[in-house]
Structure 1
Amino acid sequence: MENDGTVSDGQLFARMRDHWQRIDPVPADLVDRMVAAVAVEDLTREYALLTLVEGAELAAVRGETDTATLQFSDGKTSVLLHVSATDQGGRRVDGWVDAAPLAIRLVHADREWAAEAGENGRFAFDEVTPGVVRLRLVVKDDVGEMREFETPQFEV
């Protein structure tokens, strides 16, 4: 208490904290559940499902056919990519997304390409430098909320 008989802010907050700890204590497993929820969210983002649609022989774009088709999904959003070599030595990446994209970026170590989605979620990147890239999208989900979709790294 202060000299004039009033309660200090610190004392008031301590009383409130004690009161709520008695009436509505924090569940014992709350911290563990929150850590698990955050870890699952990070895994979902970092390790979106990657499947090769056209078979193992197309796994590397630099193979004999110089094309690959990749599909990524996190259970809510799916992206299909077709990667092909260009005459100039770069790569063309054609893509389709099944959600409403607000932003589409293809990220290389030191460079980034942007694309706009057309009809049916189609987008493309021209003359991408060969190497390891990652696709990043901001999409609207079924209820209109924005969320980020990011693929694992893959080679073009």
Structure 2
Amino acid sequence: MHCRDVDVFYGDNQAIFNISLDIGKNEVLAMIGPSGCGKSTFLRCLNRMNDTIDSCKVTGSIRLDDEDIYDPSMDVELLRARVGMVFQKPNPFPKSIYENIAYGPRIHGLTRDKTELDEIVENSLTRAGLWKEVKDRLDDVGTGLSGGQQQRLCIARAIAINPEVIL
């Protein structure tokens, strides 16, 4: 991703000032700063989650694989499949553990049958370090897991669709 001169406004209030940043393939980046300094606001720019806030305006350029993610022709749903996000506070769907993971691959047409979907669910939960803890209770509701388990469930849900970027 390549970000140039990114500013973010909530109405008349400017929250982000002139961010320019390059993020390379397979690079891990950590953002550190005090509460309220704009870390989450900036991350939300990278998959256009700020579009859901009417008063929010993003200026500058953010490119993914040389595509302007703010181009009006950009399919935002497809972008969010390419740029997954796991929030600081876990937010599992009020569905089973299995369905939390299966949802993304199913809506994006990433599987041909239940066997493939089962493999994606198991692989995603394994990669998130949760499979051994939940493999015998995949029908239980995801919101019934502990806080740490819910966070790993959300990570597994994000990686189930193989995004290019995880925020």
TM-score greater than 0.5 by the shorter chain: no
The bucket for the TM-score relative to the shorter chain is under 0.3
Larger of the two Rg values belongs to structure: 1
**Structure (1 or 2) with the greater helix fraction:** 2
Greater length-normalized contact order (CA 8 Å, ≥ 6 residues apart):
2
**Structure (1 or 2) with the greater strand fraction:** 1
